[in-house]
Chain A
């Protein structure tokens, strides 16, 4: 079963708008990661947020983590057509040596 589940499955916005994607998970975690996958390519790591952090920024990306609700959100501000990709959250089971589990992803389309 998937540890992380993204919402929405698909999101279409206009260039310049903000895009928000959400991830929910079931068990306690050490950290939560977000990855991007351009069509036909491998996944690329975007940002990692630890369980004791509530918010993290990287350029136009803002990630929040609410461990009480077991959820995270990824905000992309001032989106560009080049941001069109699938976005995945990845979580672990919170135990030593546990492996990452990836959700099914959100397909983001940014229209020029």
Chain B
């Protein structure tokens, strides 16, 4: 099992450009999450999908959209990138939503110039 995979690993954008971060899990988990990690800020939840067909905002959703394409895949889209979105983005999944163990992908390092 590959676990949680993310693409791309690195990305550089110019302000105003758009892009989609891809995430897939092969553990048959119901819930998936997108976090961003900034120095000194820990992980902050952007959006999550408790189950296939549902998505909800997390702590810092502004400037992002998500799509739960199917049970395996959960994408994060930046419609108009801003320098404040420079961060490392992590996707995670868990068997069910709530206080359950989460399994993380390797991350995408995004720089917005």
Cβ–Cβ contact A98 & B99, under 8 A: yes
Complex: A27 Cα to B45 Cα, angstroms: 19
Residues of B within 8 A of A31 (CB): 99
Cβ–Cβ contact B104 & A97, under 8 A: no
How many residues of chain B have a CB within 8 Å of chain A? 23
Given contacts A41-B106, A44-B104, A99-B48, contact A29 B42 (CB under 8 A): no
8 Å CB contact of A105 from B42, B92, B106, B107 = B42
Cβ–Cβ contact B98 & A104, under 8 A: no
Please give the distance in Å from B110's CB to the nearest CB on chain A. 14
Q: Determine whether A30 belongs to the interface, using a CB cutoff of 8 Å to chain B.
A: yes
Complex: A31 Cα to B100 Cα, angstroms: 9
Cβ–Cβ contact B42 & A88, under 8 A: yes
Cβ–Cβ contact B99 & A42, under 8 A: no
Question: Which B residues from 14 to 57 make CB contacts under 8 A with A?
Answer: 33, 35, 40-43, 45, 48, 50
Complex: A96 Cα to B97 Cα, angstroms: 9
Residues of A within 8 A of B81 (CB): none
Identify 16 residue pairs between A and B in the complex whose beta-carbon atoms are under 8 Å apart, listed by A's number. A29-B99, A33-B99, A40-B107, A42-B104, A42-B105, A45-B101, A45-B102, A45-B103, A88-B43, A97-B97, A97-B98, A99-B45, A100-B102, A102-B35, A104-B40, A104-B42
Residues of B within 8 A of A91 (CB): 99
Q: Determine whether A85 belongs to the interface, using a CB cutoff of 8 Å to chain B.
A: no
State the total of A-B contacts with C-beta under 8 angstroms: 56
Using A102-B35, A103-B42 as known contacts, list a sample of 17 further A-B pairs with CB atoms less than 8 Å apart, ordered by residue number in A.
A33-B99, A41-B107, A42-B90, A43-B43, A43-B92, A45-B103, A48-B101, A88-B43, A92-B98, A96-B98, A98-B99, A99-B45, A99-B58, A100-B99, A102-B42, A102-B43, A104-B41
Q: Determine whether B4 belongs to the interface, using a CB cutoff of 8 Å to chain A.
A: yes
Complex: A45 Cα to B45 Cα, angstroms: 17
Residues of B within 8 A of A30 (CB): 98-99
Residues of B within 8 A of A44 (CB): 104
Q: Determine whether A2 belongs to the interface, using a CB cutoff of 8 Å to chain B.
A: yes
Complex: A105 Cα to B38 Cα, angstroms: 12
